[in-house]
Chains A and B, each alone.
Chain A
Amino acid sequence: MSVKQISVAQDVHFAIEAHYRTEVRLWQTGQYREWLKEMVAEDIHYWMPIYEQRFIRDRRPDPTPHDAAIYNDDYGELKQRVERLYSGTVWMEDPPSKIRYMVSNVEAFDAGDGEFDVYSNVVVYRNRRQLEMTVHTLGREDKLRRVGDDFQVFRRKLNIDARVTQDKNLYFFC
């Protein structure tokens, strides 16, 4: 990201932040189908690459979508993940766990043609059963597209701030 990118106008910035607040509310209330239908473009690439711990002098390139990744999903694959949660047979979500998101440091740039590059930080807090509690922080790189008076995400790259996931899984949307 260059510092010379064109920041969006205040009203657009506000609209993008409002969009993210809505997205979080849908996740926190289990409205995954609504989230996918309204807020995710059908050409989505939803990606959480794996970054190894490497020496600074190591010249190997950064991961691409052809490398190992924790998420590397298109729309149909995201839909499969969503629908599993409605199957009534995901025992670990019954009783349901709690999830809370904090989205901050939203920085939005105009990419032309009604598209926006948006960077944000996300904290995900999960609390399950009696005492299980996990916290994940992620840097999120989005490409949003204007659709009507709202936005849809068509690229999402999630940089999780941990080499070893300190949780039994990362099956949540972010």
Chain B
Amino acid sequence: MTEDAHLVDNVESSQSREIFWDKDVYNLELERVFGRSWLFLGHESLLPKPGDFITTYMAEDKVILSHQQDGSFRAFINSCTHRGNQICHADSGNAKAFVCNYHGWVYGQDGRLVDVPLETRCYHGQLDKAKLGAKHVRVETYKGFIFGCGDADAPSLEEYLGEFRWYLDTIWEGAGGGLELLGPPMKSILACNWKVPTENFVGDGYHVGWTHAGALGQIGGELAGLAGNRADMPFEELGFQFTTRHGHGFGVINNAAAAIHVKRDGWAKYLADTRAEVGRKFGPEREELYVGHWNCSIFPSCSFLYGTNTFKVWHPRGPHEIEVWTYTMVPRDADAATKSMIQREATRSFGTAGTLESDDGENMSSATHVNRGNITRDGRMDSSMGVGFEGPHPVYPGIVGSSFIGETSHRGFYRFWKEMLDAPDWAAVKANDDNWDSVFTNRDYWADKIEAAE
């Protein structure tokens, strides 16, 4: 892959349509994006006891995530080292061991090969079980969220999240209790490239008023004015967009955390009761973020809406299809009734039959599949909204865009995506650490704006 601007042009803010269609691009993504990034595997709350496990994916690789006797988590490829059969077919459970259905090889909770049928009689004592454990991937956790990585040279999870933790801590730690995830996940197939929903969540505040006009009209509340883009709103006072070193980013709509929830008494009260403590711990800017609504993606393929509290993983299945997994995020220390109502409201809006989810799916699949056309595919997509109305900020880390309706975090996502595709290894990525944000050229945007306001 050359370092030219064909796939992603950071100057013109455009992308080739091949990024949603081309098989070679996808294969390179499997190797260089998914193979080297930290990928969301689960949350401690989904497997609370030793022996608990869940099965999931890292891109197209099947993985078992297993809670160890010492309280740590391990993850290993869900494929037997004998003849390759899938080891475990359950979604979740509690197991002392995993037994392969084919010839009965037995793997421990830690993935070590512990027993082989007829070992002495038929392998004649020559099988080196220590070498035949299931293949491990790295596992690290941050505030209860568990990630896996297939690259020994990748930085730690904390470094990978980088300055984005400044934002994440606001909600993943919050007033102190932090978040947990409620499963089991809803799962559905969507015929789209995995980057379409990721870019939609990372920074598409633009589509909300139009795509979701029907649903927003029914829900009412703070966002009803967005429906149909009819209201004349001061968008520069309603929120921001952010992008960070490794492509993680989000948009925030101020004071709208629970806007999508109709039955929100418990959740609104929880936010009201805890915001002062968040302000005390993290300062006024993050207290403001805490009561805003976030549309967020963690590079590459994990997204959530904080406030609505839906949590998604977009597992790729080839360039033109994904498996959507949907969990709900809830405050760990909220009461049971509040957690349950948050889950119901998050599902009613963004579950498999969600009133807003149902608006999004068709856009995502048609934005992918239209590119099968040869003339179509030999074209570009634009993401230039708000270019120049963004830059480094004295308080917020990363690059900050002036409005939640803009494409700052799109640009930041594709900037890093291209960097990962181009880089031969993580050392090459790290070499850009000091000038990664130079593509956002208006360095004085915020200094000028803040000075003008004073």
Contacts and interface: CB of A to CB of B under 8 A. Distances in A.
Interface residues of A, number: 35
Given A165-B189, A169-B361, A89 B353 contact: no
B90 interface: yes
B362 interface: yes
Interface in A118-174: 163-171
Nearest to A53: B91
A50 B183 CA distance: 9
B213 A54 contact: no
A72 interface: yes
Interface in B288-346: 323, 328, 336, 340, 343-344
Given A68-B347, A70-B186, A169 B357 contact: yes
Nearest to B325: A164
Interface string A63-95: 000101111110001001101110111111000
A84 B211 CA distance: 13
Nearest to A79: B218
B138 interface: no
B354 interface: yes
Interface residues of B, number: 45
B187 A163 contact: yes
Contact of B362 (A71, A88, A89, A168): A168
B330 to A, nearest CB: 11
B355 A80 contact: yes
Contact of B189 (A68, A83, A91, A166): A166
Contact of A81 (B185, B343, B355): B355
B351 interface: yes
B353 A169 contact: yes
Interface of B: 89-94, 182-191, 211, 213-215, 217-219, 227-228, 262, 323, 328, 336, 340, 343-344, 347-348, 351-355, 357-359, 361-362, 365
A168 B191 contact: yes
Contact of A80 (B91, B189, B262, B359): B262
Contact of B323 (A164, A167, A171): A164
Interface of A: 48, 50, 52-55, 58, 66, 68-73, 77, 80-81, 83-85, 87-92, 163-171
A164 B219 CA distance: 28
B182 A52 contact: no
Contact of B93 (A50, A54, A85, A169): A54
A167 to B, nearest CB: 7
Contacts of A48: 353
21 contacts: A50-B184, A52-B184, A66-B340, A68-B182, A70-B352, A71-B353, A72-B348, A77-B262, A80-B262, A84-B218, A87-B214, A87-B217, A89-B214, A89-B227, A91-B211, A92-B358, A165-B186, A165-B352, A168-B189, A168-B361, A170-B353
